[in-house]
Amino acid sequence: MVKKTILSYWFKKINPQGNYETLKNDKITYIQLSKKYETFKIRAFFLTVFLLSFIYIMFIKSELYESKAAIMVRDLSQSSPVSSLGLSLLGASSGSQHQDSMVVEEYLNSLDIFLKLDKKFHLIQHYKSDAIDFIQRLPQDVKMEEILEFYHKNLLIEYDEISSILHISFLDTNPKKAQEILNYLISQAEFALNEFNRKKAQKRLKFVELEHKKNKEKMEKASAILEKYQNDHLLLDPKAEASTSISIIAELETSLTQKRIEYKTKSAYLNPDNYELKKLKTEIQEIEKSLAKAKKGLTGNDKNRLNSILFQYEKLKLQFEFAVEVYKTSLVELETTKLDAIKAAKTLSIVSQPNLPDGYTYPNKPKDFITLTMVILLMYGIFSMLLAIIKDHKE
């Protein structure tokens, strides 16, 4: 019916007295006008698509305001900022800083933070409301995966490996709300980052506390064994006792040598039955007995000989001293870990605060208009060329 009306209109323009029936009898004119009508239909189709797209982009598509911020993750526990500065100057960030930034990015994209945002800002309700245009708006029965995907489209995160800065942007139809959401995201990211490190420190603290307890028990056990050994042998310090015994043996040997010399000298001119020689001989025998007893007590076969006691004592003392050093080290480690568990080791330094946008960022209407025009013209040209090729093959 539309075709008949349009062909009749065009035919009357070239033949005012003619009508549709006359046109059908004029085969040549009918074919020419029919070809013109087919071209008209194609152009009308692409023009309609262009106008509808133009109206949607310019007047219907939701205008999104972008609030931007830049943050940097800093490790307060690092004691050598100079080395980190050197890495930055060389165009490389520390592995820990890069890892922390990736943790922040992953958390901001997670379902956990989105549920917190939804509870505070009612994002799901907003994404289904009339504030979003009918094409981008989410349906009422949408799945959580699709909601999270829509959230990811509005959250833009980019990490600069050279400067170690994390650029974060959030899009919303309300500029004030976009700024508030971005502020909330940054505060929650900092809390989550420190909570993540606190949990790691708590796990480490439990392990260190357990090891400290074991080391304390080992030290107390070594101390008790050493004390019992001293009590059993009635010795405070076997080393001092050994030094005393060595001194006594040395004195006895000296005295023995002197008595032997004296005895040999006097025996040269005195009678063997002389009282003085007999006295010297008795003294030499007593010194020899005392010397033998002293040496036996120091290095003999007796299980209570002094050198054996000394070696065992030194072994127990070394074990005790080692247990004390291990205990002291574990005590320092325990106190350090306790501090790590309660302090905020990581912080998010805000390089640039979330701004309040004074104009919408998306859509970029001039750019979209130019793109739309080029796409429509390209599609029209391709479609027209294909139709021309098909007609040539038919003819």
Decide if 26 is inside a domain.
yes
CA end-to-end span of the chain = 27
Q: What is the DSSP letter of 56?
A: I
Do 142 and 85 sit in the same domain of this protein?
Answer: yes
Domain identity same for 72 and 169 = yes
Domain presence at residue 92: yes
159 exposed, middle or buried (CB, 10 Å; 0-12, 13-18, 19+)? middle
Q: Rounded to an integer, what distance in angstroms lies between the CA atom of residue 383 and that of residue 386?
A: 5
Residues 6 or more apart whose CB falls under 8 angstroms from that of 341 comprise 198, 201, 202, 204, 205
In sign, the C-alpha dihedral spanning 372, 377, 379, 380 is: positive
Reading the block at residue 351, the tokens are: 């390089």
**47 and 142 share a domain?**
no
**Residue 81 shares a structural domain with residue 195:** yes
My answer on whether 69 and 186 are in the same domain is: yes
Predicted pLDDT at 12: 55
Q: Is residue 219 part of a domain?
A: no
Domain hosting residue 18, numbered range: 2-61+364-394
Residue in 192, 193, 208 with CA at minimum distance from that of residue 339? 208
Q: Is residue 116 part of a domain?
A: yes
Do both 105 and 182 map to the same domain? yes
324 Cβ partners below 8 Å, 6+ apart? 219
301 domain residue, yes or no: no
Q: Are 341 and 198 in contact (CB under 8 A)?
A: yes
- Number of domains making up the chain: 2
Residue 4 dihedral angles phi and psi, to the nearest 5°: -60, -45
What's the whole-model pTM score?
0.64
92 and 140 housed in the same domain: yes
**H/E element, 351:** strand 346-352
Going residue by residue through the chain, which has 395 residues, state the pLDDT in tens, using 9 for 90 and above: 555 566 555 545 555 555 555 555 555 655 655 667 677 788 889 999 999 999 999 999 999 999 999 999 887 665 444 444 444 434 444 567 788 889 899 999 999 999 999 999 999 999 999 999 999 999 999 999 999 999 999 999 999 988 889 999 999 999 999 999 999 999 999 888 888 777 777 888 888 889 999 999 999 998 898 888 777 766 656 555 656 666 776 777 788 788 788 878 877 777 777 777 778 778 888 877 776 776 665 555 555 555 566 677 778 888 888 999 998 998 898 888 887 766 656 778 889 999 999 999 999 999 999 999 999 999 989 988 888 787 776 65
Res 86: pLDDT: 43
CATH number at residue 147: 3.30.1890
In a domain, 39, yes or no: yes
One domain for residues 122 and 160: yes
